[in-house]
Amino acid sequence: GESVGLHLPTLSVQEGDNSIINCAYSNSASDYFIWYKQESGKGPQFIIDIRSNMDKRQGQRVTVLLNKTVKHLSLQIAATQPGDSAVYFCAETQNTGNQFYFGTGTSLTVIP
């Protein structure tokens, strides 16, 4: 695999604050990226995606930013809620829709 699993970094935020989760991807040829949310004991859920020809994409309460120069992705969550507490992974792929390689992940805890 192109990304190696490590112990998860953590992020704690107050309810209502904005959250920013960062991800450094490894393959400069990757052209499609997805952010996933994983709750304890469950499979990943799609949050938002972005293609390499874009540098920003917005969804409902979430924004993904892509900086190809430094191979960096970020996920911004506005007005973070307790239900947003989960582990967030970025995933990268070449040739859209083929094998996805996951980043380390970040554990987000929202404090009520």
Partner 1 sequence: GAVVSQHPSRVICKSGTSVKIECRSLDFQATTMFWYRQFPKQSLMLMATSNEGSKATYEQGVEKDKFLINHASLTLSTLTVTSAHPEDSSFYICSARIDASSGNTIYFGEGSWLTVV
Q: Residue 50 — φ and ψ, nearest 5°?
A: -155, 140
Q: Is residue 33 within the footprint of partner 1 (CB under 8 A)?
A: no
Q: Is residue 3 within the footprint of partner 1 (CB under 8 A)?
A: yes
Q: Is residue 83 within the footprint of partner 1 (CB under 8 A)?
A: no
With CB under 8 A as the contact rule, the residue among 73, 75, 102, 108 that binds partner 1 is 102
- The residue among 40 and 69 lying less far from partner 1, judged by its C-beta, is 40
Q: Is residue 11 within the footprint of partner 1 (CB under 8 A)?
A: no
Structural contact between residues 62 and 47, judged by C-beta atoms closer than 8 angstroms:
yes
Task: State the sign of the Cα–Cα–Cα–Cα dihedral 50, 52, 57, 62.
Answer: positive
CA–CA distance from 6 to each of 3, 9, 60, 102 (Å)?
Answer: 9, 9, 30, 11
Structural contact between residues 25 and 73, judged by C-beta atoms closer than 8 angstroms:
yes
Q: Is residue 104 within the footprint of partner 1 (CB under 8 A)?
A: yes
Q: Which residue has the tokens 């924004």?
A: 63
Smallest gap, in angstroms, from Cβ of residue 28 to partner 1? 19
For the segment 45-74, give every residue that binds partner 1 (CB under 8 A). 45-46, 49
Interacting residues with partner 1 (CB under 8 A): 1, 3-8, 32, 34, 36, 41-46, 49, 89, 96-105, 107
